[in-house]
Amino acid sequence: MKTIVLKFGGTSVGSIDRIKKVTKIILNHKRKKNRVIVVSSAMSGVTNDLVKKSKLISNNFDKAEHDVLVSTGEQVACALIAGRLNHHGFSARSWMSWQIPIITDGPYSNARIDKILTKDLQKYLKSGGIPVVTGFQGINNHSRLTTLGRGGSDASAIMIAKFFKADECIVYTDVDGIYTTDPRLHKKAKKIKQIEYDEMLEMASLGSNVMQPTSVQDAKLNNIDISVKSSFISKPGTLITKSFKKKEFSNQIITGISSTKNDAKITIAGVKDKPGVAALIFEPLSKNLINVDMVVQNISLDGKETDLTFTIKSEDVKKTEKIIKGNKKISYRRLSFDKNLAKISIIGVGMITAPGITYRMFKALASKKINIMVISTSEIKISVLVSAIHVKKAIAVLHKEFKLD
């Protein structure tokens, strides 16, 4: 008998009608004599509403209480799913993270699952029951509820698959798989049948919102294959797996193209070039939870000064400006900000052994008169910063250049 973990995202359980449809998917798997563990997110919009309420109560809402508050959305969804399964005559019940329990480590709002005690849930599974588990949350060693970060229900499902030695982990969402790029931005985007962990990790961290990056990392570390499917239509999805021989597209080097629109560029000009100066700049940003992405440093001809450019999210610009201007440990000549930017990234393990990818990318963008402001690379991705108005045009020309159309 196979053990299958089914995870449903917020849009999949976003209404009573959708929850009824989700229970049909669950029962289809159950009727095939599988042991089924369900993991659910909160109904779409619920978590955002709870966060909004916390901000109306206090500008400095207690972090532990914040996790207690926002974790209630999953509890509601799981109870509704279990109730509908019972309505159909099946044995089902909701399981809160503390009832299993799912043990976490790390800070509130960004904890990681350390271990899952399986005894009670295994007993319930063997009795034929369908456990419906709250995603996105766990319990720490102080017996306080913790949450795993937005999109953390994916991590819950993957770690449950690990600890219960599941044969399959299926993530149901509002799209029918992973695409070569966002279909809303480029109509010629194609669904990818299989994608490697590293490629998916890059795509998730670079703007693809289908999977949470830490969840993909957990899947890779624990060698758990994930199928991404739609809960709205019955179609084959995308398998996220380890290395395999690609057969989908001939001459395929690039697997996908990701983009973000809410980027900003910060340039600190005329910084004294001495050991430790970069750390003095970035340390207070890190302490204030400002995520720094692309970083470029240009040294002056005399070697005494440097211009430091980096990117952040647009919503962090004011906070970053205040921190840099208040930093008495650094001196500089000029501070400038540039908003309304976008990061375009090409991803593919094929570029490791294929020369000329950087040239082809830059030439394609130049053919559409798209100016590149910042460049960042790794073994399997190249990212460039461009004006946000060029996102669709950049994706279209790169999609065609790398034979993804």
End residue of a domain, out of 174, 196, 215: 174
Q: What is the pLDDT of residue 151?
A: 82
We report the CATH number of the domain holding residue 269 as: 3.30.2130.10
Q: To the nearest whole number, what is the mean pLDDT of the chain? A: 92
Rounded mean pLDDT of 260-282? 91
Q: Are residues 47 and 150 in the same domain?
A: yes
Q: What is the pLDDT of residue 251?
A: 64
Q: What is the pLDDT of residue 58?
A: 95
Q: What is the pLDDT of residue 353?
A: 84
Rounded mean pLDDT of 195-206? 87
Contacts of 262 (CB under 8 A, 6+ apart): 313, 314, 315
Residue 290 in any domain: the answer is yes
Of 378, 290, 386, nearest in space to 343 by CA = 386
pLDDT of residue 275 exceeding 90, the answer is no
Q: Are residues 269 and 147 in the same domain?
A: no
Q: What is the pLDDT of residue 81?
A: 98
Of 338, 257, 268, nearest in space to 305 by CA = 268
pLDDT band at 94 (very low <50, low <70, confident <90, very high): very high
Q: What is the pLDDT of residue 297?
A: 87
Q: What is the pLDDT of residue 207?
A: 62
Residue 42's domain comprises: 3-174
Which structure tokens are listed for 270? 């005329």
Q: What is the pLDDT of residue 261?
A: 85
Q: Are residues 159 and 287 in the same domain?
A: no
DSSP state of 326: T
At 17-74, the pLDDT tens digits run 999 999 999 999 999 999 999 999 999 999 999 999 999 999 999 999 999 999 999 9
We report the CATH number of the domain holding residue 39 as: 3.40.1160.10
Of 91, 98, 47, 93, nearest in space to 73 by CA = 47
Residue 223 in any domain: the answer is no
End residue of a domain, out of 155, 174, 193: 174
pLDDT of residue 205 exceeding 80, the answer is no
Rounded mean pLDDT of 96-102? 97
Q: What share of the chain is helix, strand, coil (3-state, %, to 5)?
A: 35, 30, 35
Considering its fold, how many domains does the chain have in total?
A: 2
pLDDT of residue 248 exceeding 70, the answer is no
Report which residue type is found at 170: I
DSSP annotation string for 198-263: HHHHHHHHTT--SS-HHHHHHHHHTT--EEEEESSS----EEEES-----SSTT----EEEEEEEE
Rounded mean pLDDT of 347-371? 93
% of the chain surpassing 70 pLDDT: 97
